[in-house]
Amino acid sequence: MMRSFRSIFGSPLALGFVGVLSLSLAVPLLTAHIQEVKAVRETALPLLAALPSLERRLALLKEQVEVTELQAALKTGSQLERVRVSVLPQEADVPRALATLELLRSTLESQGVVGSLSPIEVGREQARSDGLAAVPLNFQLSARTDGVRRVLAFVRLAGLVTVGDALTTAEKNALIRATEEENPAGIIMLEQFFSTDLFRYAEEPRPVEEQLKRSLQSEGFLTVLEQATETSLLKDAKELFQGPVGPAASRARLWPMEFLAIDRVELKPGSSPDWYRLTLSLSLIRRTS
């Protein structure tokens, strides 16, 4: 009986049958394993491939949060405080505003582009509809063409604290779009550029601009940056504060300047060629609360 059993299962035919049976049982297991491996590859590999990008985005978001918190701290402790104390104080500092205008006149007079300045008439303070109050300042000034341009630029710069303040909304939006097209992470450096002290930038703009250019180097961005810095109030700020006006204002501690709004400008020919009589009506603005 034992010999008969061994003879049956020891034969080649029997061994072949056992092999086929084992293989048929193994195929479903192999198929399931292959499907599992395939599923892992289809789900895990794309995730692995995306991990570096996700990690970069997470790091960027963390950095943005840190920068935002830092800027908020700086704005609260420095820029905003300067606006409250110097630019829009609760009490209008008329003597300081008059000293600023006299400094401008005397400095430009030494350059031969401004002449006499009439006594500055200080009017009665008036309430404004926006919750602010304004003290009228009226005066006349004789100036050459270049002197008129510089005086008006100086008044337009009064009350500005940062580089971003000296740019229009359209100019800032153009820089933001150019940054996002090249590298969204560059928004961090652009925000730092916007928050740079205007006086410090105007005195020495190159280090500030070069730092930004190291992060954003595309031709499109550099073109927009050049347009923004050479056609906006930034150009006037550089021209004014790199000249005698900058050091004089710094020595007299007249920066930042109070906020001056232009109400009326009148320009008439003077007694000599290229000389004009400039009449200005300004408002010295202060906070009421």
Distance (Å, whole) CA 211 – CA 225: 13
Q: Is the pLDDT reported for residue 37 higher than 60? A: no
**Using CA atoms, how far apart are residues 120 and 117, in angstroms rounded to an integer?**
8
Bridge partner residues of 142 (DSSP):
277
**Residue 225 backbone phi and psi in degrees, to 5:** -65, -45
Q: Write down the pLDDT at residue 131.
A: 81
Average pLDDT over every residue of 30-40: 51
Residue with tokens 């010999």: 3
Domain ranges of the chain: 54-84+163-237, 92-151+257-287
CA distances from 281 to 163, 263, 288 (A): 26, 5, 22
d(CA 72, CA 29) in angstroms, rounded, equals 61
Q: Is the pTM value of this prediction over 0.85?
A: no
Q: Which of these CATH numbers, 3.30.70, 1.20.1070, 3.40.1130, 1.10.620, describes 92-151+257-287?
A: 3.30.70
Name the phi and psi angles at 276, rounded to 5. -135, 160
Identify the band that residue 91 occupies on the pLDDT scale cut at 50, 70 and 90: confident
pLDDT band at 240 (very low <50, low <70, confident <90, very high): very high
Look at residue 52 in the predicted model and tell me its pLDDT.
53
Cα torsion 137, 140, 144, 145 to 10°: value is 50
pLDDT at 139 over 50: yes
pLDDT (average), residues 243-250: 91
| pLDDT at residue 142 is higher than 90 | yes
pLDDT of residue 74: 39
Span of 12-26, 74-88, 213-227, 253-267 with lowest mean pLDDT: 12-26
CA dihedral 28, 33, 38, 40 (to 10 degrees): 150
Name residue 166's amino acid: A
Q: What does the CA dihedral 209, 211, 215, 219 come to, rounded to 10 degrees?
A: 30
Give the C-alpha separation, 143 to 117, whole Å: 9
Give me the mean pLDDT over the 151-155 stretch.
Answer: 94
Model pLDDT for residues 114-136, shown as the tens digit of each residue: 998 899 999 999 998 778 899 99
d(C-alpha 80, C-alpha 38), whole Å: 59
CB 133 within 8 A of CB 284: no
Percent of the chain whose predicted confidence (pLDDT) is above 70: 71
pLDDT at 9: 46
Mean pLDDT within 52-68: 47
What average pLDDT does the segment 222-242 reach?
94
More confident residue, 77 or 289: 289
DSSP class per residue in 21-51: HHHHHHHHHHHHHHHHHHHHHHHHHHHHHHH
